[in-house]
Structures are given as structure tokens and as C-alpha cells.
């Protein structure tokens, strides 16, 4: 959980922005809620390596240098992340780590980096993608520093199959998200189903940084979403046990954004220690089939089951959506206490199934706790 500069700021980053963002994470309670990694994406880099072959930072954007910035972030009790790329150059054409993996890993460790996002542009022809990630994974481990390794390979070589082995702790499963409903439906609802078996502690599917609260502004702003569409987005990311990287300008976020990102019920589901990624339980047919009414379920460590009812349809009004105990592995006769995960309110005790009406482009997230004894 953390914040990344790319979605809103793209090239327009500097140390003032990063420090202000860190302060806002603390002041708003987002850091306390778990958002601790402050990550600088592409376009932090200087034009040349130094005499020792090390990457340098853009002196105009980061005049104090990256080590000093990391130290200030650490002094606030937060963690610091940076970006590089497996190719010769980054996606924004800056110097990158191909052929410099050990030097760059060492440099990042010396600077106090805690998180490395590693992209996949400008990879030399014929180079084997998974090998490049393995190389950087090994180089990071050799530094002896605990650095979270985030692969941004867009799912090209199915990183869910080899990411963990290559030393990655999370791997992007798709191309870039943009801030609109179609993108959330495509990346979140269409393209994650079927990947749930590959996620778990120390290795997570990453459907990209969040666009919650962007409202169409910034680098990947593309029309924006309504609050209930952002709720669908955030609730799904929590159910999928995805990394939760905030992408909006937290300095300017509204109350709806803050209370969604800090929602204790949804974060409990996201961060549950069992670390299971929700599975789409309805419709059951083919995992990749589209449905306007998907239902996701995520078992939690204490025997509770989190269920997301999502109405993705464009029709008027509400649709009745529900969940049958049968599809969750629960005995049909078992009484379950059903509560609303978002509001924390108890709905009641039910047997066999539960349903309610869900407005279009909206979601309900339920907690089903079996009543035992």
C-alpha cells in the first residue's frame, strides 16, 4: 500500500511534491491505514550516469539528491520507492538498468530505496524478459536490503507464472490503467479473473495503480469516474488482494476519496493474512467470459467470507444480485451473519442465500460470518 507519482503527475515531479505527499499521507491518517510506500515513477532520472557508472537524479527536480529525499521520507516513518526499467531506456526514454543491474541495485540500496518498480520498455531485441527480471531480482537480493520488487511487465510473458521465482513481489498483469469506467471494467473486471491461483503472500497480481479520486485530472486522466465507479474499482482491488497504490493528488483529494481509500472494512479484506485473491464465483462458466453482474468471493483467515456484488450494467435503476451459500462452500443450512463491509453495519442472519438490489455502476461488499454452535 502506498502512493505512486505516475497517474497524476507523470513528468511533473520534484522533491517538494514528494515530501508534501508524504506529509499528507501522515496528516490524513492514510499512512496509519497502511499506505506507507511513497514511490517516484519515471522521469526522476538525470541525463547521464556518474563517473562510477551510477544513475543520477534530475538536478532540477531533485536538487538534494535521492538519498537525502529517502532519508526525509524515512524520518517521517514511511518507505521510499523508485522506478527503473529492464531495457536500455525507460518508457519515457530515460537511462535504465539493462546491463547495469548490479550497479543500479547497489545504488538504490545505498540510497535507502525500499521499493523498486521495474518496467519493460526498450528491451534489446532477443533479450528474454523473465531473465531480465531474474537478474534484477538477484541483484536486489545481493544488496542485503529489504527492497520490494515490483515488476511492470504488463503481463506480456505471463509474469504470474515466473514472477515469484524471479524475485518479484508483485507483477503487473496488464497494460496501463486510465481514469475511466471502461478501463476499470477492462483491466479490473475482465482481465484479472482466472489469475487468482497465482497470488499470495510475497507475490501478488497487480492490476495497476489506482485512479480513485482523480476525476479525470492528471497524466492518465481520461474522463474520470463517478464516486460509485471508484467504489467498484477500490472494492475490487481490495477483494483481489491487489497492491493498493494511490494515484491521485492526495494534497487535493476530497472527503469521498479519503473515506473510500481509508475504509476500514475494505482494507481489512485487502490486507487479510490468508492472502487469497477473490475468485469470480458468478457467473461460473468460463473465467474469461464477460458478465455485467459479477460476484467475487474472498475467504478470510478467520472463516469469514467477503463477497462483492458488482453491477456493471448501463441499464436504468437497480438489479437484484445475490450469493448462494452453495457457491462459497458453505452448508446451505448454515446460518450466516451478513454485514455490510463498507458501512460496518449488520444486515442480519440468513440461511442458504442472500440478495439485494445493487444500483448500476455500483457495488455492495458483504461479510458472511458463519454462526457456529
Q: Which residues bind ligand GAL (CB under 6 A)?
A: 6, 41-42, 90-92, 119, 121, 152, 176
119 vs 229, beta carbon nearer ligand GAL: 119
41 vs 272, beta carbon nearer ligand GAL: 41
Say if CB 105 and CB 137 are below 8 A apart. Answer: no
Half-sphere exposure of 143 (CA within 13 A, CB side): 24
3-state SS, 27-47, equals: HCCHHHHCCCEEECCCCCECC
CB of 175 to ligand GAL, least distance (A): 7
37 vs 296, beta carbon nearer ligand GAL: 37
- Residue among 296, 294, 293, 338 nearest 319 (CA): 293
Q: Which of 176, 186, 227, 340 is catalytic?
A: 176
Instruction: Indicate if 176 belongs to the active site.
Output: yes
Q: Which of 119, 179, 272, 362 is catalytic?
A: 119
CB of 109 to ligand GAL, least distance (A): 21
96 vs 193, beta carbon nearer ligand GAL: 96
Say if CB 143 and CB 114 are below 8 A apart. Answer: no
CB of 150 to ligand GAL, least distance (A): 10
81 vs 308, beta carbon nearer ligand GAL: 81
Q: Going by C-beta distance under 8 Å and a sequence separation of 6 or more, which residues neighbour residue 282?
A: 291, 293, 294, 295, 323, 327
68 vs 92, beta carbon nearer ligand GAL: 92
Q: Is 215 left (phi over 0), alpha (psi -120 to 50) or beta?
A: left
Q: For residues 149 and 137, what is the distance between their CA atoms, to the nearest angstrom? A: 7
3-state SS, 44-98, equals: CECCCCCCCCCCCECCCCCCCCHHHHHHHHHHCCCEEEEEEECCCECCCCCECCC
Chain-centroid distance, C-alpha 107:
26
CB of 91 to ligand GAL, least distance (A): 3
38: number of Cβ within 10 Å: 26
CB of 151 to ligand GAL, least distance (A): 11
CB of 195 to ligand GAL, least distance (A): 17
- Residue among 301, 305, 346, 348 nearest 324 (CA): 305
3-state SS, 221-253, equals: EEEECCHHHHHHHHHHHHHCCCCCEECCCHHHC
CB of 105 to ligand GAL, least distance (A): 19
What cell was used for 209? Answer: 495503480
38 vs 307, beta carbon nearer ligand GAL: 38
CB of 11 to ligand GAL, least distance (A): 9
Q: For residues 277 and 241, what is the distance between their CA atoms, to the nearest angstrom? A: 5
Instruction: Indicate if 227 belongs to the active site.
Output: no
Q: In what order do the strands lie in the sheet with 79-85?
A: 204-206, 170-172, 148-151, 115-119, 79-85, 37-39, 2-4, 245-246
Catalytic site positions: 119, 176
Amino acid at each position: 500500500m502506498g502512493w505512486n507519482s505516475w497517474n497524476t503527475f507523470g513528468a511533473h515531479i520534484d522533491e517538494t511534491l514528494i515530501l508534501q505527499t508524504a506529509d499528507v499521507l501522515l496528516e490524513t491518517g492514510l499512512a496509519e491505514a497502511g499506505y506507507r510506500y511513497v514511490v517516484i515513477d519515471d522521469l526522476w532520472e538525470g541525463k547521464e550516469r556518474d563517473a562510477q557508472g551510477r544513475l543520477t537524479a534530475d538536478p532540477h527536480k531533485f536538487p538534494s539528491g535521492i538519498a537525502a529525499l529517502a532519508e526525509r521520507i524515512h524520518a517521517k516513518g514511511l518507505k521510499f520507492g523508485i522506478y527503473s526499467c529492464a531495457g536500455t531506456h525507460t518508457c519515457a526514454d530515460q537511462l535504465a538498468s539493462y546491463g547495469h543491474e548490479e550497479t543500479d541495485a547497489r545504488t538504490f540500496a545505498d540510497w535507502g530505496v525500499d521499493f523498486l518498480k521495474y518496467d519493460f520498455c526498450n528491451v534489446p531485441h532477443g533479450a528474454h524478459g523473465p531473465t531480465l527480471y531474474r537478474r534484477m531480482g538477484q541483484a536486489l537480493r545481493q544488496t542485503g536490503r529489504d527492497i520490494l520488487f515490483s515488476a511492470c511487465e504488463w503481463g506480456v510473458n505471463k509474469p504470474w507464472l515466473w514472477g515469484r521465482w524471479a524475485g518479484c513481489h508483485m507483477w503487473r498483469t496488464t497494460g496501463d490503467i486510465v481514469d475511466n469506467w471502461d478501463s476499470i471494467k477492462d483491466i479490473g473486471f475482465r482481465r484479472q479473473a482466472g489469475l487468482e491461483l497465482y497470488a499470495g503472500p510475497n507475490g501478488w497480481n497487480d492490476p495497476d495503480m489506482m485512479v480513485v479520486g482523480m476525476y479525470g485530472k492528471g497524466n492518465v486522466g481520461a474522463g474520470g469516474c463517478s464516486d460509485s465507479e471508484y467504489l467498484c474499482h477500490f472494492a475490487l482491488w481490495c477483494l483481489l488482494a491487489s497492491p493498493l497504490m494511490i494515484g491521485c493528488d492526495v494534497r487535493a483529494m476530497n472527503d469521498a476519496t479519503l473515506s473510500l481509500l481509508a475504509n476500514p472494512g475494505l482494507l481489512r479484506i485487502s490486507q487479510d493474512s490468508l492472502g487469497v485473491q477473490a475468485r469470480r464465483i458468478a457467473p461460473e462458466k468460463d473465467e474469461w467470459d464477460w458478465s455485467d453482474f459479477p460476484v467475487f468471493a474472498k475467504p478470510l483467515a478467520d472463516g469469514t467470507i467477503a463477497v462483492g456484488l458488482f453491477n456493471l450494467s448501463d441499464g436504468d435503476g437497480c438489479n437484484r444480485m445475490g450469493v448462494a451459500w452453495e457457491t462459497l462452500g458453505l452448508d446451505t443450512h448454515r446460518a450466516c451473519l451478513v454485514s455490510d463491509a463498507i458501512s460496518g453495519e449488520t444486515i442480519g442472519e440468513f440461511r442458504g442465500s442472500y440478495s439485494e438490489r445493487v444500483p448500476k455502476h455500483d457495488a455492495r461488499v458483504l461479510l458472511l460470518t458463519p454462526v457456529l454452535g
